[in-house]
Amino acid sequence: MAKVTYHLPNGDTSTIDVPAGQSVMDGSVRNNLPGIVAECGGSCSCATCHVYLPAEVQGLFPEPTDEESELVEFLDGAQPNSRLSCQLIIEDQDEIHVEVVDSSL
């Protein structure tokens, strides 16, 4: 289990306990947080779960797959630290911070 802190587009933060095996997206959706839409339900096909991953936690997750990289490449507001939260699976991390991208970007 990890404590995931979601930094929301409106400036609010929310910290959720996300069990191992679930994604950062799951934690948001299951707790009705705004910003992560997850239209495809986590199948890495819609990119509506776009987050920015701070440098200090990037090494806690595997590198993006080619499929994820291709989706992110065409997102408005994409940055080098952009990830799809459906692909960020919780394992043995203690605490993670993610910035939920403003969907209007």
Ordered by start, the domain boundaries in the chain are 2-100
Is residue 104 very low, low, confident or very high in pLDDT (cuts 50, 70, 90)?
low
- Could you give the C-alpha distances from 40 to 46, 48, 88, in angstroms and in order? 6, 8, 15
Mean pLDDT confidence for 90-96? 92
On whether the CB atoms of residues 20 and 1 are closer than 8 A, the answer is yes
pTM over 0.85: yes
% of residues, the chain, pLDDT over 90: 89
pLDDT digits (tens, 9 = 90+) for 34-76: 889 999 999 999 999 999 999 999 999 999 999 999 999 999 8
Q: Taking the domain 2-100, which CATH number applies?
A: 3.10.20.30
